[in-house]
Chain A
Amino acid sequence: MPDPQPLLEVTDLAKSYALRGGFFDRTKGNVQAVDHVSFSIPRGQTFGLVGESGSGKTTTGRLIVRVIEPDTGQIVFRDEESGGIDLVKLSSRQIRPLRKKIQMIFQDPYSSLDPRMTVLRIVGEPLRATGNISRRATRERVAEVLEMVGLSDEYMNRYPHAFSGGQRQRIGIARALATQPSLIVADEAVSALDVSVQAQILNLLRDLQERFRLTYLFIAHDLGVVRYLCDRVAVMYSGRLVEIAEKPALYGNPKHPYTESLLAAAPRPEPEKLAIKPPYAGLALGPRTSAGGCAYFPRCPYRRDVCSREAPQLRKVADGHSVACHFDLTLTNANSSGTCGRENMQSKGSAVH
């Protein structure tokens, strides 16, 4: 059973940026990068945040690790020691002891490691940054976490250039593990890796989760990787969560047209399966901005008049399944193989009104 109190509870999180451009770099308006997003993650689970580039998923991750400041919202973090703290309310000084509880893994193993630092310094850095620790204790802890990620402690004095992409990603994971965090935000952690290396890193993330009861916020665009790793998934579009569900429901019975189009577009290694396609939801069909209406309106193949006027709110359609759409749509399930198929058929009947 998951804890009654989730490890992370995000409520109404919002962040906007001034949009600049033109000859004098004037402010042309605001972009709502993260638009009142709410979700929670039980301890020991993996929460997937998917969406295309520009959807706001990376900004959401960065807000949670507090490298950027939200405009509004709450980020409540709760573990045994800290009984429910709103990270947004803390000053940068107050947050320091919590930094070691929340760590991040980045996408690009080539640019996220400082080439001038040895593995010892890279992995040991968060230890030094979050507390007083002796040189010897740092060395010991670094050796320990390197072993956890499957690297020999002999690598400690080498520089990042000596490692392959997969090994670098292991170094990045070791760095995140060094301070014994309870939450890890992984932003496209396996996207830059080759298939065979990707599988190794995904297995490693699973093993570490079991071993240390880690909680992951797994941000990715690859729906296959998310399906493998995550327990619950939220789909983000244009700064908003448009659908949020347990994994079997999201993949077996998607309710938002955007989720449907993402699932249909995801490349799959099955030449025979390619005939099934939902109504074409590709190019922007209408105006780019739809002030006041549904953000997906310009691309939505099922849109009606109301969609251009009113923004749909997230509403519950089943236990643990919410969708931000005005309609109860019966959608194409391009993934009807496997265990989800039958479930899908049954719930479809009740979903049509």
Chain B
Amino acid sequence: MRSEGNTILDIQDLTIRFHMRQGLVTAVDGLELSLEEGRVLGVVGESGCGKSVMSRALIRIEAPGTIEKGHVRYVDRDGCEVAIEKLDPAGPAIRRIRWKEIAMIFQEPMASFGPQHTIGEQIAEAMELHGILCGRDRREAVVASLDSVRMPRPAETAEQYPYQLSGGMRQRAMIAMALSCRPRILIADEPTTALDVSTESQILDLLRERQMALGMSILYISHNLGVVAHIADDVAVMYLGRVVERAPVRVLFAAPKHPYTRALLRSLARVDRDIPGRLEVLSGGLPDPFLRPAGCVFHQRCPECISGLCDRVVPRWVRLGDGSAVACHLYGGDHA
């Protein structure tokens, strides 16, 4: 599924597998997705849908998974296309892209920070490694980067160790470090999931503000539909290794198309309204990871499954007038 605009990252037919003792697990299965320049793309899905595996592959840290097929095309600053899937995960080419072109932040900031150096030393090191710091005063640059994420008392914080900061402040420091090399794409994998709601909403506001100021693109991975509604311009919904629906954020929440998206939205316990009676529930659970369903990956749990079709044929993308696109037979011209 391609879309208009300046595509900065384009994923076609991406398939990532894990070879395990018990068998083969296909975590990402023929996935198609594209990220536009200067936009925030939210990727939502429940645990096990492959959203983290997919995002890690974009900077080639997918191991122990392996990219079996497909293309990840990155359009660099000069407009040249880089085939990320072909790069050596430990080679110099991807290292030039990581951090400087595509940075990533995680749920647990301690995954990015080592415990034995101060926040300032680590940010400075990241900047030096990528040649951002040459000629400038080290300390000044670090403080400026912490200041840009609205860290209270940035100079003091630079002297502190990660464990001395609260969860929200650590997350700010991680964002400062990720943005210190001015990446064009930020991949954010559930960066607010461990935080309290008020801290979460500050971090989301901060990311949005930095994104607009720097004109970068964000790929925001989350299981939380409310968070995605808050930060994204466009949303992709993943289920079992595939994107099943993609739409501008307002369209997705106002008029969800795929039966999975509709079921997810209906099953939410919401802060903004009373739900009398029971919540609507999606029947069944995720299938055995070693036995992927044929046809549409959602057909076993789908209340609108068309037998003979959905259980056999993988649905193709259908583009709709409101800007959304859905991979579902219900919207196919010849079956609707």
Contacts and interface: CB of A to CB of B under 8 A. Distances in A.
Interface residues of B, number: 40
Interface stretch (B54-62, B128-136, B192-200): B192-200
Nearest to B222: A267
Given A53-B196, A203-B279, A221-B196, A271 B250 contact: yes
A164 B286 contact: yes
Interface in A66-111: none
A209 interface: no
B117 interface: no
* Nearest 10 CB-CB pairings of A with B: A267-B226, A228-B269, A199-B267, A52-B196, A194-B46, A224-B271, A265-B201, A199-B279, A338-B273, A266-B271
A267 B197 contact: yes
A306 interface: no
A337 B229 contact: no
Interface in A193-224: 194-200, 202-203, 206, 221-224
A283 B149 CA distance: 13
Contact of A269 (B226, B280, B282): B226
A340 B270 CA distance: 14
B164 to A, nearest CB: 11
B275 A196 contact: no
Given A196-B281, A265-B197, A265-B201, 11 more contacts: A196-B46, A202-B269, A203-B279, A221-B197, A223-B271, A267-B230, A269-B225, A269-B268, A282-B198, A282-B201, A339-B274
B98 interface: no
If over half of A's interface residues share one DSSP class (helix, strand or loop), that class is named, otherwise mixed; here it is helix
B229 A274 contact: yes
A311 interface: no
Interface of B: 46-47, 150, 152, 196-202, 223-227, 229-230, 249-250, 253, 263-265, 267-275, 278-282, 285-286
Interface of A: 52-53, 164-167, 194-200, 202-203, 206, 221-225, 227-229, 247-248, 251, 261-274, 281-283, 334-335, 337-340
Contacts, number: 131
If over half of B's interface residues share one DSSP class (helix, strand or loop), that class is named, otherwise mixed; here it is loop
B230 A228 contact: no
Contact of B278 (A206, A227, A338): A206
A271 B249 contact: yes
A158 B233 CA distance: 45
Nearest to B192: A267
A206 B275 CA distance: 13
Given A196-B46, A196-B267, A268 B223 contact: no
Nearest to A274: B230
